[in-house]
């Protein structure tokens, strides 16, 4: 795909105009080279104080000021597929009357990247050392993640005391994230012709009690570092059956457990296995740990003060968990309503871009 924008990126236009320019460089997952090239060129031309490392289409740009603490700030460059929603255009929100930029990537998450790029160029003397990261392949399978790859390839570059991921959070701080785990639960039976069904054992019937238990289950609400995480345990698929005249000997369903970040993956797996103790088999098929919000760290508390709104728990899984896995407390903070992410009428409030840039700048300049 060719770029809609051909001019070099210039951070002096400010985060709002830069949002428009970034969105107009199409960068669907797997096709991030043009935008990564543009970002790298911008840093070379406008941020000579940063030490830049490129890994595929991921760019790591660091200050090396010898500060006591270091903050990592990251955002992904890719978007979900375009659906006749580029180039961006300015619009007014039909519900709130706010001035918006409409189009693919405005929310998830080029407005956040624009804020980061402007501050990366502008903040030559921040109160903490900074590690900026812009990465590829966030909107696809987790094993393709450019952030994960760069962390494996350059672990030393990722040392930090706190991390901020620019995922859309309506300009508030969303702390940590729930973990997610999928398990296949299987019930077995014995085949028989349905004309003589008493000779068999119906595996689909046997699954009924487990589904009933799921239906009656009240997921927990777990408070972690002051934020409430609401869990969820759901069957997301079911299959079973042999033929229209055969008592089935097999029924299995996939469950997705969204668990509070206070639980480890092993603890979450144990919860699921105990819940389905009556099943014939419970197989964990994939999992990703959650991330504690880390809001008890002094650095985080002053960031909360700078932003000025009450932090909430992030429920979906995000890359903050990758920082958390490195022992770095991490939060989500970015412009845009997360409910509009991936929507065809994705749009971001211009005020959220401006306010987000101000809050982050104020904190990094000395409120830390």
Residues that bind a second copy (CB under 8 A): 178, 180, 182, 193-198, 202, 204-215, 219, 230, 232, 234-248, 251, 253-254, 256, 258, 315-317
**Which positions are annotated as active-site residues?**
78, 138
Smallest distance from the beta carbon of 192 to a second copy, in angstroms?
Answer: 9
Smallest distance from the beta carbon of 236 to a second copy, in angstroms?
Answer: 5
DSSP letter at 247 equals E
Query: What is the rounded CA–CA span in Å between residue 299 and residue 294?
Result: 10
Other C-beta atoms within 10 Å of 66: how many? 6
Smallest distance from the beta carbon of 270 to a second copy, in angstroms?
Answer: 20
Smallest distance from the beta carbon of 190 to a second copy, in angstroms?
Answer: 12
Smallest distance from the beta carbon of 30 to a second copy, in angstroms?
Answer: 20
Q: Any idea which residue has 């994230």 for tokens? A: 177
Q: Using alpha carbons only, how large is the chain's radius of gyration in Å? A: 24
Cβ proximity of 194 and 330 under 8 Å: no
For residue 224, the surrounding DSSP H or E stretch is strand 221-224
Q: Given the complex with a second copy, which of 58 and 180 has the nearer CB atom?
A: 180
For 172, the token pair is 């508030």
Query: In the chain, what is the straight-line distance between the N-terminal and C-terminal CA atoms, in Å?
Result: 42
Smallest distance from the beta carbon of 333 to a second copy, in angstroms?
Answer: 18
Query: What is the rounded CA–CA span in Å between residue 97 and residue 272?
Result: 46
Q: Which residues pair with 55 in a beta bridge?
A: 58
Q: Given the complex with a second copy, which of 30 and 208 has the nearer CB atom?
A: 208
Q: Give the β-pairing of 312-313 and 173-175.
A: parallel
Q: Given the complex with a second copy, which of 99 and 285 has the nearer CB atom?
A: 285
Query: What is the rounded CA–CA span in Å between residue 133 and residue 145?
Result: 13
Q: Give the β-pairing of 347-349 and 99-102.
A: antiparallel
Q: Given the complex with a second copy, which of 33 and 193 has the nearer CB atom?
A: 193
DSSP of 325-337:
HTT--EEEE-SS-
Q: Any idea which residue has 């930029």 for tokens? A: 101
Q: Given the complex with a second copy, which of 49 and 191 has the nearer CB atom?
A: 191
Q: Given the complex with a second copy, which of 204 and 325 has the nearer CB atom?
A: 204
């Amino acid at each position: 795909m060719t770029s809609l924008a051909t001019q070099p990126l210039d951070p002096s236009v400010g985060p709002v105009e830069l949002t428009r320019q970034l969105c107009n460089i199409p960068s669907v997952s797997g096709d991030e080279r043009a935008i990564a090239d543009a970002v790298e060129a911008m840093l070379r031309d406008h941020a000579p104080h940063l030490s830049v490392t490129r890994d595929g289409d991921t760019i790591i740009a660091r200050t090396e000021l010898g500060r006591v603490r270091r903050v990592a700030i990251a955002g992904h460059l890719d978007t979900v597929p375009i659906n006749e929603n580029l180039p961006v255009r300015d619009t007014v929100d039909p519900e709130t009357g706010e001035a918006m930029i409409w189009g693919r990537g405005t929310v998830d998450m080029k407005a956040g990247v624009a804020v980061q790029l402007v501050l990366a160029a502008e903040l030559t003397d921040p109160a903490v050392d900074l590690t900026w990261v812009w990465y590829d392949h966030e909107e696809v399978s987790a094993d393709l993640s450019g952030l994960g790859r760069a962390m494996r390839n350059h672990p030393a570059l990722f040392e930090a005391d706190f991390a901020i991921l620019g995922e859309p959070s309506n300009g508030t701080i969303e702390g940590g994230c729930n973990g997610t785990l999928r398990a296949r639960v299987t019930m077995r039976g014995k085949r028989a012709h349905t004309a003589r069904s008493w000779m068999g054992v119906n595996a689909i019937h046997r699954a009924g009690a487990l589904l009933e238990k799921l239906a009656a289950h009240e997921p927990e609400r777990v408070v972690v570092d002051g934020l409430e995480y609401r869990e969820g345990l759901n069957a997301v698929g079911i299959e079973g059956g042999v033929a229209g005249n055969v008592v089935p000997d097999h029924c299995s369903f996939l469950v997705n457990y969204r668990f509070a970040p206070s639980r480890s993956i092993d603890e979450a797996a144990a919860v699921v296995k105990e819940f389905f103790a009556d099943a014939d088999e419970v197989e964990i098929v994939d999992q990703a740990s959650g991330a504690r919000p880390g809001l008890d760290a002094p650095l985080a508390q002053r960031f909360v003060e700078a932003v000025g709104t009450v932090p909430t728990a992030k429920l979906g899984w995000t890359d903050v968990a990758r920082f958390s896995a490195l022992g770095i407390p991490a939060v989500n903070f970015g412009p845009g309503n997360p409910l509009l992410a991936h929507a065809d009428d994705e749009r971001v409030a211009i005020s959220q871009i401006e306010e987000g840039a101000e809050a982050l700048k104020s904190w990094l300049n000395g409120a830390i």
